[in-house]
């Protein structure tokens, strides 16, 4: 906050007195002239206000040059800066227009690439060769992105050159303020510099036009590749239709084979039933045979006993005779 004891009139009197004594009015000089009173934050805006109102006096104190010459040099410097700013703005507008065209072309290429990727996903197994071409398109898009990144780097370089030119303008302004004799040399240097800048801008525009032509040629090549891919897709679609016809024929044959198989299975089921019936009859036959063998053994035993009894009877008859 400014002190109430230090006013603009005090600072103005002190600055006028310092200039009259041949000294440059600075904040420390004003403060010393006021007897060490007042803060720098209070004196600084008041001194700036006084310098704005006494440019000629300040120039005479700082450089020892007439005020008219300082004002003339200042006007010339402002004119040079305005021309440089206008040229920079024109170069930026041309660059932005070229960048917009390139971005539009890149977006179109991206849309085409997305469409190709969609077709490749739907025909992933049948379009293996098309996938290879799609990868080629992706690489082409990446190369375009790299080219766009190169344009971005060129833009950064141009901006850096603009900064450098601004620094050069500031340096030339200081040279104008130092001496009248350097004015003509500076004017020639500035004219040469503007010519070089115009030439550089023209060369940059020609490079952009050349790059635009190359991008159009690449786009035409991509469209040609797209036509080839579409032809391959039609060929693959025809092959797919042929495969589907073959599949339908195979399915019909498989249906016939299944019918024959079902008939054979039915006959096999009937044969199994017959086999089971035969096995049951065989089991009954074996059981009957076992019973017959048992009965035969019983009969054989009875026959043997009867033979023995017959022999005994014959023996007894012989003995009786």
How many percent of the chain have pLDDT more than 90? 7
Tell me what pLDDT residue 56 has: 64
The SS3 call for residue 34 is: coil
**pLDDT for residue 124 is more than 80:** no
CA distances from 162 to 167, 192, 281 (A): 9, 16, 114
- Give the pLDDT confidence of 193-227 residue by residue, as tens digits: 888 888 887 888 888 778 878 878 887 888 888 88
Tell me what pLDDT residue 77 has: 59
Going by the DSSP 8-state scheme, the letter that residue 36 receives in this structure is S
Tell me what pLDDT residue 44 has: 92
Angle, CA 182 vertex, CA 181 and CA 186 arms, to 5°: 140
Number of Cβ within a 10 Å radius of residue 172: 19
Measured between its terminal Cα atoms, the distance across the chain in Å is 181
CB 118 within 8 A of CB 126: no
Tell me what pLDDT residue 179 has: 56
Average pLDDT over residues 153-180: 79
Overall pTM > 0.85 = no
Tell me what pLDDT residue 2 has: 38
Pick from 10, 177, 160: nearest CA to 88: 160
Average pLDDT over residues 217-242: 83
CA distances from 161 to 8, 156, 223, 230 (A): 43, 9, 38, 47
Output the CA torsion sign for 244, 248, 254, 255.
positive
- Give the pLDDT confidence of 47-100 residue by residue, as tens digits: 999 988 877 666 665 555 555 555 666 667 577 767 877 887 887 888 888 888
Average pLDDT over residues 169-182: 75
Helix (H) or strand (E) holding 305: helix 182-320
CB 169 within 8 A of CB 80: yes
**pLDDT for residue 112 is more than 50:** yes
- Give the pLDDT confidence of 261-290 residue by residue, as tens digits: 888 789 888 888 988 888 888 888 888 888
Pick from 248, 192, 228, 216: nearest CA to 109: 216
């Amino acid at each position: 906050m400014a002190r109430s004891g230090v006013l603009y009139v005090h600072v103005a009197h002190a600055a006028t007195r310092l200039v009259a004594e041949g000294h440059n009015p600075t904040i420390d000089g004003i403060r010393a002239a006021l007897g060490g009173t007042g803060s720098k934050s209070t004196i600084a805006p008041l001194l700036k206000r006084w310098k704005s109102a006494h440019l000629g006096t300040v120039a005479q104190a700082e450089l020892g040059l007439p005020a008219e010459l300082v004002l003339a040099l200042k006007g010339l410097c402002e004119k040079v800066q305005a021309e440089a700013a206008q040229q920079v703005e024109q170069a930026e507008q041309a660059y932005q227009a070229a960048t917009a065209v390139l971005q539009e072309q890149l977006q179109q290429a991206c849309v085409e690439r997305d469409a190709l990727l969609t077709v490749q996903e739907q025909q992933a197994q049948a379009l293996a060769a098309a996938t290879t071409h799609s990868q080629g398109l992706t690489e082409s898009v990446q190369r375009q992105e790299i080219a766009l990144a190169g344009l971005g780097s060129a833009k950064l370089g141009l901006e850096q050159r603009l900064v450098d030119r601004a620094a050069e303008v500031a340096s030339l302004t200081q040279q104008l303020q130092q001496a009248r004799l350097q004015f003509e040399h500076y004017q020639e240097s500035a004219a040469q510099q503007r010519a070089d800048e115009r030439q550089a801008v023209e060369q940059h525009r020609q490079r952009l036009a050349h790059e635009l032509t190359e991008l159009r040629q690449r786009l035409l090549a991509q469209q040609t590749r797209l036509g080839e891919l579409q032809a391959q897709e039609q060929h693959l679609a025809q092959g797919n239709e042929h495969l589907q016809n073959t599949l339908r024929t195979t399915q019909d044959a498989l249906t016939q084979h299944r019918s024959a198989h079902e008939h054979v299975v039915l006959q096999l089921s009937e044969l199994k039933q017959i086999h089971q019936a035969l096995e049951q009859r065989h089991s009954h036959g074996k059981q009957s045979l076992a019973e017959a063998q048992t009965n035969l053994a019983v009969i054989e035993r009875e026959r043997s006993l009867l033979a023995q009894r017959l022999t005994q009877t014959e023996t007894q008859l012989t003995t009786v005779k």
